[in-house]
Amino acid sequence: MKTTPHKLPFAVLLIACLCAAVACQWLSRSPSSTVVKFYEAVAKGKHKEAKQFLDPAALEQMPAIVLDQALAAASSEILDHGGLESIQVEKETVQGDNAQVQFVIRYKDGSSKKDKENLIRKNRKWFILVGK
């Protein structure tokens, strides 16, 4: 099949755009991965990193000391159980720009805790809603 010179650049551009779209979708966080990454950061005591997964609008309204105390308490709870073994997502429900993730936190001491987080999507990223 013979391709005319002006059609070849269009085909290359189309393929590049499709690859970029797939890459953006692949790189964007899901609600479940947001929750898992948040708890992994909390377990490691990386509170600054953990804050990146929280809703920025809620962070602006919450006093920093309150948030820092909550993150410290969550880290302490994980350490009291010997550390974080894993986060097992049981259910993810997405409705438009809102989501809920139900999961089980498994600790290294063999205990576990069921929990859930509500999330909101802003600028194609998922954030955990604080205090919801």
Q: Answer yes or no: is 72 within a domain.
A: yes
Q: Answer yes or no: is 10 within a domain.
A: no
pLDDT at 10: 47
Q: Answer yes or no: is 55 within a domain.
A: yes
Q: Answer yes or no: is 22 within a domain.
A: no
Domain total in the chain: 1
Which tens digit of pLDDT belongs to each residue from 57-89?
989 999 999 999 999 999 999 999 999 999 999
Rg over alpha carbons for the chain, rounded to the nearest Å, is: 20
Q: What is the CATH number of the domain that holds 79?
A: 3.10.450.50
SS (H, E, C) the chain: CCCCCCHHHHHHHHHHHHHHHHHHHHHCCCHHHHHHHHHHHHHCCCHHHHHCCECHHHHHHCCHHHHHHHHHHHHHHHHHCCCEEEEEEEEEEEECCEEEEEEEEEECCCCEEEEEEEEEEECCEEEECCCC
Residue 75 tokens, joined: 């880290």
pLDDT at 16: 43
Which tens digit of pLDDT belongs to each residue from 11-25?
443 344 444 443 344
Q: Answer yes or no: is 77 within a domain.
A: yes
Q: Answer yes or no: is 20 within a domain.
A: no
Q: Answer yes or no: is 89 within a domain.
A: yes
pLDDT mean across residues, the chain: 85
Q: Answer yes or no: is 124 within a domain.
A: yes
Residue 49 tokens, joined: 């990193």
Domain range enclosing 87: 32-128
